[in-house]
Structure 1
Amino acid sequence: MDGSEINYVKSKDYWSNIPASLNGMLGGFSSLTTLDVNDSNVFLKKLFKIENGPSKNRALDCGAGIGRITEQLLSKHFECIDLLEQDEKFLNEAKLKLDGTNAKNFYCVSLQDFSPDNDIKYDVIWIQWVLGYVTDNDLVEFLKKCCKSLNKNGLIVVKENISSNEEGEIDTEDSSVTRSFGCFCYIFQKANLMCVARRTQRNFPTGLYKVEMLALRPVDNLKQI
């Protein structure tokens, strides 16, 4: 499975019918948000302390939805945050929610069509629960773009569900793929990324997918450190 089963139009249509709410963003599991953010916060704090860790100037929130991660996590650590989200109603809700905060740019575009501003560099690019809607080939290209948008010592953080099926699993309702850890490793390698830190999400209810947090750095950047 290489993600070619993903239909971008079907995925976009699915999310167009989802309410711009916390419960909508989390598929009915809004109760998980505190556990999710708390563990992400632990991981992010760890990343700031690693050797040649990222600075705290600017972050990019990918698949930002209504700004949940920016509001509850990234805004606590970074001076400035940009949001990337393809659904206009979600992004409008994020603008309202984050008005007067350190959220700056709101990009209404999909990951696969995003062209980063060459003049903006990020210390952390946070990508959570959205990569399942991008094909393998487009995901590799997106990650390569992200690499070029990283500041010195910058990191790409991926937080995603992990399938125990090595081939991955397709969800025909929202046209998404849940990848295995091996699938992700293959994609990261093709994008010339190396994992420098990892944490498994804790305390989620049994029966849900395992969730991994991975901090990635371009191999070329590692050679310069």
Structure 2
Amino acid sequence: MCETGNQLAELVSKVEKHLGRIAKGNDTDGREYTSLSEMWATVGILEPSVALKAGATRKRVAELVNGAADETASVPAWYTQAYSYWEAEGNCPPTIDGVLGGFGHVSGTDIAGSRRFLEGRVKPLLPAMRLEKAADCGAGIGRVTKLLLLPIFASVDLLEPSPRLLAAAPSFMFGQEGHRAARMEAEVLLSEGGEEEKLREQAVVGMRGREEPYGKAEDADPRAGSLPTRQQQGMKAPPEARVRYLCLGMQDFQPASGVVYDVVWIQWCIGHLHDLDLVRFLVRIKAALRPETGAVIVKDNCCDASADFVVDTGDSSLTRSPAYLKALFEIAGYDLRVEERQQGFPAELFPVIMFCFTAKKEASQSGEGWGP
């Protein structure tokens, strides 16, 4: 982890330079953090020695970390804890209410807001945007794929690290027949190699089923916006033939050679990546965006002005401020094109912001040099 730690420390320095201050935050256990390096050391991503060099105080690192991190671990506890959380049925039943943490009633408002954002804000900025292929990152059971992306794009890659949630996606989107077909193919893939090999090879699970492009009436309103769909453009393939399932986290995802995305949609999952893995992912995915018109759209919780970040110790995720998130995209070589706050959500939730980013045109600002 030493090289990763040094790179993360360098990245932390760049982020705080963008912010113009030392970032401060807290976590759900009540801890207060006086810097990003202190926080990343506490959760085991940044070694204490590197954190000290990055500016964290010796006293605070000693208090919070209680000894050196395991430098031999191939997968940080940050990720294994998140994986265990989402794999547990009790934490996340494979339903809309489950994947939305008990706020399933906001799904219709969410989808309608996302569609209006695509139509009213993104499309005018990128009028030549094609609707050929989208990626749904951290897709869970495929809620966004089913209700938003599949009615619009010719094909969707559904990226989800939890095998349990991935296995539930076909029946959610296409009924029990789709569930049975996809499960049979998944069992074959799992029998051919271990989890690590499957991740490296980006195993694809097929599916068959029936078409339910919008779901129930309470989940989404198909009249929300007039963005032309692939069906309206004459695309005849049934929806079950237009989705690939990839059992991977974003930190492990490498787009296949020749794959071109028009939109990469990242909703309520970007906080599971630590800063360095997030920048690395953005650099990799940028190479697969359609030139000139491809976009990365992020929709996620954001901190208000009282903190730069909040760590959820239950599922190992980080809620960043808008400025913090935009700094990471800037460093990775992206331009912010538009942002908008989702309206109509309960007041007790974090503000939910939608961002549209496109790759910078200047080669000197391409985000190179951040590792694999």
Which of 276, 280, 297 aligns to 1:157? It is 297
Instruction: Give me the whole-angstrom Cα distance separating, in 2, the residues matched to 1:35 and 1:177.
Output: 24
Which of 261, 272, 276 aligns to 1:133? It is 272
Structure exhibiting the larger radius of gyration computed from Cα positions: 2
**1:55-204 correspondence runs (5 A):** 55-96=130-171, 97-98=173-174, 99-100=208-209, 101=239, 103-152=242-291, 153-164=293-304, 165-204=306-345
After superposition, give the CA deviation of every residue in 1:155-177 in whole Å (9 maximum; x if it has no partner). 00000100124430011111111
Instruction: Give me the whole-angstrom Cα distance separating, in 1, the residues matched to 2:362 and 2:134.
Output: 18
CA drift of 1:220 comes to: 1.9
The change in CA–CA distance for 1:121 and 1:221 in structure 2 (over 3 A counts) is: farther
CA drift of 1:50 comes to: 2.3
Say if 1:22 and 1:30, in contact at 8 Å, map to a contact too: yes
After superposition, give the CA deviation of every residue in 1:67-115 in whole Å (9 maximum; x if it has no partner). 0000000012111111000001111111332444254211001110111
Count of matched residue pairs: 223
After superposition, give the CA deviation of every residue in 1:115-156 in whole Å (9 maximum; x if it has no partner). 111211000000000011110000000011111110131000
Structure 2 letter corresponding to 1:148: A
Instruction: Give me the whole-angstrom Cα distance separating, in 2, the residues matched to 1:24 and 1:53.
Output: 37
Structure 1 letter corresponding to 2:268: W
Structure 2 letter corresponding to 1:115: Q
Q: Give the gaps of 5 or more residues in structure 1.
A: none
Say if 1:166 and 1:183, in contact at 8 Å, map to a contact too: no
Structure 2 letter corresponding to 1:109: L
Q: Give the gaps of 5 or more residues in structure 2.
A: 1-35, 46-77, 175-207, 210-238, 365-372
Instruction: Give me the whole-angstrom Cα distance separating, in 2, the residues matched to 1:104 and 1:35.
Output: 24
Instruction: Give me the whole-angstrom Cα distance separating, in 2, the residues matched to 1:161 and 1:53.
Output: 29
Q: Secondary structure at the match of 1:143?
A: helix
The change in CA–CA distance for 1:222 and 1:73 in structure 2 (over 3 A counts) is: farther
Give TM-score scaled by structure 2 length. Answer: 0.57
Higher strand proportion, which one? 1
Structure 2 letter corresponding to 1:160: D
RMSD of equivalent CA atoms = 1.9
After superposition, give the CA deviation of every residue in 1:166-222 in whole Å (9 maximum; x if it has no partner). 430011111111111111011011111111121110011112100110010011279
Q: Which 10-residue stretch deviates more, 205-214 or 1-10?
A: 1-10
Q: Secondary structure at the match of 2:101?
A: coil
- Percentage of pairs with the same residue: 33
Give TM-score scaled by structure 1 length. Answer: 0.93
Q: Secondary structure at the match of 1:127?
A: strand
